[in-house]
Structure 1
Amino acid sequence: MSTPASPPAVAQRPLVHHTGFWYFPVAFVARLPFAMMTVGVLALVVAMRGSVALGGLTSAAVGVGVVVAGPVLGDLADRFGQRRVLVPVGLANGILLAVFPLVVATARADGLLLAAAAAIGLTGPQTAAMSRSRVMALIGARIAPECRERTFSRAMAYESAADETAFVIGPFVVGVLAALIAPWAPIVGAAVLSFVFVTAFALHPTGRAVPARSEREEMAPFRELLHPRMLVLVAAVFGVGLFFGSTLTSLTAFMDAQGAPEAGALLYGVMGVGSAVLALAVALLPERFPLRWRLVLFAAILTASAGAYTVGGSVTTVTLVLCLMGIGVGPSLVTLFSLAGHRSPRGRGASTMTMLASALTLAQALSSAVTGAVAESVSVGTAMLFPAGAAALVLAMAAVNASSSRRWDGEARAA
């Protein structure tokens, strides 16, 4: 018996028809606890304990927890469905965030403080990765074949722009709440957002777009995630994370040398906003411009502008260079996630996206620590070389991907 085709009127409708209007605002706000918790923990510990070193260690513990848990949560979501994973994780994260100010105030042992911070990271809701996985599933199931490529490009552009905007807004909200209320306010605010919006995201009807393992054909084996066609993307995203961490830290050190350390985050925000805008603009590129060559072009722009950043100079010059860097980094990140979406092994969408997100987070944490140590112990000029090295890694991976992309994608289609 033949299976009836999907009604053309439904197949031709835009993605927002299938997600519902409120999906994207809810998914965006649900990103903010993740963007706020690392900076919020740092600010709270420094304010209440008076130790920048302990604050840095505590913040790093959150990052380590995120990296460890990310792939595990992605695998669990692929196996059992996003709702069953995100609801308990979001609630646990909200509880841990809410009690963390009490831990900071009462815990005498630093080990207990670090353990609490790591637990926050382990329960960090991977909303961005889960959202990409949902959107990918919806496009594959409900968008007409002739519209899928354009819709997919626009969706990935939006998701990357939303990530970057959240990571600009998150630290800003932390600073405002800490200044206007108290150092504990950002953490409590993140807890409320996690309780309300992460739960709302988890329970949103789009969660059914990604079925649990029991409701679909067999998942691809885990080793498919370790194929070179996937690892080259992970390495490139790791390079982007190195770029983000080293740029923010070296820029802060540069502005500190100018006598205005607080302006470092502001200038970084200039790059972040520009990067988000350019990330959205990627959706306007013609489909005949292949993803592999887009990545080479944007990685080359990133490398060239990061090279100019190493020269330093005046605040005006550095600001202009940051704008150029935004032109390269935002579109590069969009293209990498688009390639990952196309190559994601069968039934492994959430695992793929959390693997890339974890690589990004780990690289940011490592590069921030190393760049800060170099800026303090060697020189600011030396620290400003690090973004160029990170950009060179992205370009090298882009070249590897371009040289082997046809063969890898052919193997994937055959499989």
Structure 2
Amino acid sequence: MHTTLAAPRRTTLVREAGFAYFPIALIARLPFAMMVVGILTLVVSARGSLALGGLTSAMTGLGTALVGPLLGAAADRFGQRRVLLLSGTANSLLLLAIAWLAFASVPDAALLAVAFAIGASMPQVAPLSRSRLVGIIGRTFSKDRRASVVGGTMAYESAADEIVFVFGPVIVGLLATTLSPAAPVIGAAVLALVFVSAFALHPTAAVGAAAGGDKPAQAPAKELARPALITTVLGALGMGLFFGAMLTSLTAFMAERGVPEQAGLVYGAMGIGSAALALGVALFPARFTLPARWVVFAGILTAGTLALPFATSVGAMTLCLLVIGIGIGPTLVTQYSLAAARSPLGRSATVMTMLGSAVVVGQSAASALTGLLAEASGASAALLAPVAAALVVLAAGVANVPLSRVRRAALQG
């Protein structure tokens, strides 16, 4: 009697991380996407000042930019679980506080201080998820499969970011319209408490933790300042500038047509194409290199934005956004894939958080500046802001090409 041995099951990331991981990680990043827009909506409604609203949301981004990478470094040093539980709980309490303070008779400075603390304590779910999955890939996949699996993973993660960054503002608008201006912020607080805690307690959080409390092996912090790595951070900053400038200028464009509440729906046209193309990046041939992808898709992004000031109807605007979406997803995937490959030893969470923080600070700063531009000069002038942001992304991509060649030569040498 012959017995045949079953072939070993092919390792997959979904099996290694667990099926529950991906929906938890997706929902856990929603508060991150809702906070900046939610706080802006709350403060404008409660205090009646667009300038104060823009400044308050900008303070949120400033807090994230200054402290976010430190939270990533703490996660690399102490493990993700305790950092996420502490930051998630603090963030939820601060969101509830600003929902009350906005309507209370407290000075504007108090709102700005709490907004900064909200940004500083913002749970870095997206970058820490990337760091976890890259760690799992490095531990469980053979060397010949790692590059393709990392590429596919960064494609999924960028598509997930696109989904929440498109639908986050839509959810904020629905809650603020149907319930109250404070509802989006309270909703974000509840989501952070429940799903960020679930993300923190998931078994994959142990991937980056040091065994037995020992200090993990880490490259010197100065390696984070390598030009090739800084270029990817600048590229991510450009993407954040684009998101903030595009949503704000689009809102001004729709407001001039009497339907500002439809801005989120039109904005969604860009996100759908972007998410689809982000997922498609995994199918690109290896000879279409990461530096080349960045330049090509940043070029498409820039070309789409150049048509924005000439759009005179909602249909024309939607068409522009569909073209722009083709450039966004692949560019983000490429930036994160390059950052993952260039992360110094033991600094993966720090690097991913640097990119995530760059996106948020760019979004916040561009939202505030584009809002002022729209107020002073109208939607036509505001629609030039996404063009400037796209040019930042393209310039960083062009600068990355020779840096990639230098790095490749150094690795081969």
Deviates more, 1:284-293 or 1:52-61: 52-61
Q: Give secondary structure in 2 for the equivalent of 1:407.
A: helix
What's the offset of the Cα at 1:217? 5.1
Q: Which residue does the alignment assign to 1:399?
A: 398
Give the counterpart letter for 1:371 in structure 2: T
CA separation in 2, counterparts of 1:392 and 1:187? 33
Change (3 A) 1:131 1:221: same
Provide Cα deviations, 1:175-221, integer angstroms capped at 9, x if missing partner: 22223322222222211111111011011110111133854752111
Cα offset for 1:288?
Answer: 2.8
Asked whether the equivalents of residues 54 and 371 of structure 2 are also in contact (C-alpha less than 8 Å), the reply is no
Residue 30 of structure 2 aligns with an amino acid whose one-letter code is L
Q: Deviations over 1:363-383 (max 9, x none)?
A: 112222222222222343232
Q: Does 1:42 align with 2:40?
A: yes
Structure 1 residues 246-395: aligned runs within 5 Å: 246-395=245-394
> Which whole-Å CA distance do the structure 2 matches of 1:220 and 1:345 have between them?
6
2:222 partner letter: R
Aligned residue for 1:75?
73
Is this contact kept in 1: 2:77–2:215, CA < 8 A? Answer: no
Structure 2 stretches lacking a partner, 5+ long:
1-5
Secondary structure of 2:288 counterpart: coil
Secondary structure of the structure 2 residue equivalent to 1:106: coil
Q: SS of the counterpart of 1:75?
A: helix
Quickly say closer, same or farther: Cα 1:326–1:413, change in 2 above 3 A. same
Matched-pair contact (CA < 8 Å) for 1:77–1:212: no
Q: Over aligned residues, Cα RMSD in angstroms? A: 2.0
Give the distance between the partners of 2:158 and 2:52, measured in 1 at CA: 32
Q: Matched residues in 2 for 1:82 and 1:10: separation?
A: 32
Q: CA deviation at 1:107?
A: 4.1
How far apart are 1:295 and its partner, in Å? 1.0
- Which letter maps to 1:277? A
Kept in 2: contact 1:302–1:325 (CA 8 A): yes
**Aligned counterparts of 2:352 and 2:412: Cα–Cα separation in 1:** 20
Residue number in structure 2 paired with 1:177: 175
**One-letter amino acid of the structure 2 residue matched with residue 284 of structure 1:** L
Work out whether residues 343 and 409 of structure 1, in 8 Å CA contact, stay in contact via their aligned partners in 2.
Answer: no
Question: Once the 2 structures are TM-superposed, how far is the Cα of residue 298 of structure 1 from its aligned partner?
Answer: 0.7
Structure 2 SS opposite 1:262: helix
Q: How far has the Cα of 1:290 moved from its partner?
A: 1.3
Tell me which amino acid in the other structure corresponds to 2:402: S
Aligned to 1:224: 223
CA distance in 1 between partners of 2:153 and 2:296 (Å): 21
User: Identity of aligned pairs, percent?
Assistant: 50
The residue type paired with residue 313 of structure 2 is S
Q: Amino acid of the residue matched to residue 195 of structure 1? A: L
Change (3 A) 1:405 1:219: same
93-102 or 78-87: bigger deviation: 93-102
Give the corresponding residue for 2:192: 194
Q: Are 1:312 and 1:381, in contact at CA under 8 Å, matched by a contact in 2?
A: no
Q: Hey, what's the Cα distance between the residues in 1 that align with 2:174 and 2:249?
A: 23
Q: Number of aligned pairs? A: 407
Deviations along 1:1-42, whole A, 9 cap, x unmatched? Answer: xxxxxxx98794100111000000000110011111222222
TM-score by length of 1: 0.93
Query: In structure 1, how many angstroms separate the alpha carbons of the residues matched to 2:352 and 2:152?
Result: 17
What residue number does 1:4 align with?
Answer: none
**2:294 and 2:331 in contact (8 A); partners too:** yes
CA displacement, residues 211-245 of structure 1 (integer Å, 9 cap, x when unaligned): 33854752111111111011111111111112112
**Could you say which residue in structure 2 is the equivalent of 1:121?**
119
8 Å Cα contact 1:310-1:388 kept in structure 2: no
Q: Which residue of 2 is the match for residue 5 of structure 1?
A: none
**What is the aligned partner in structure 2 of residue 61 from structure 1?**
59
Residues 130-152 of structure 1: CA deviation (Å, up to 9, x unaligned): 00000111111111222212211
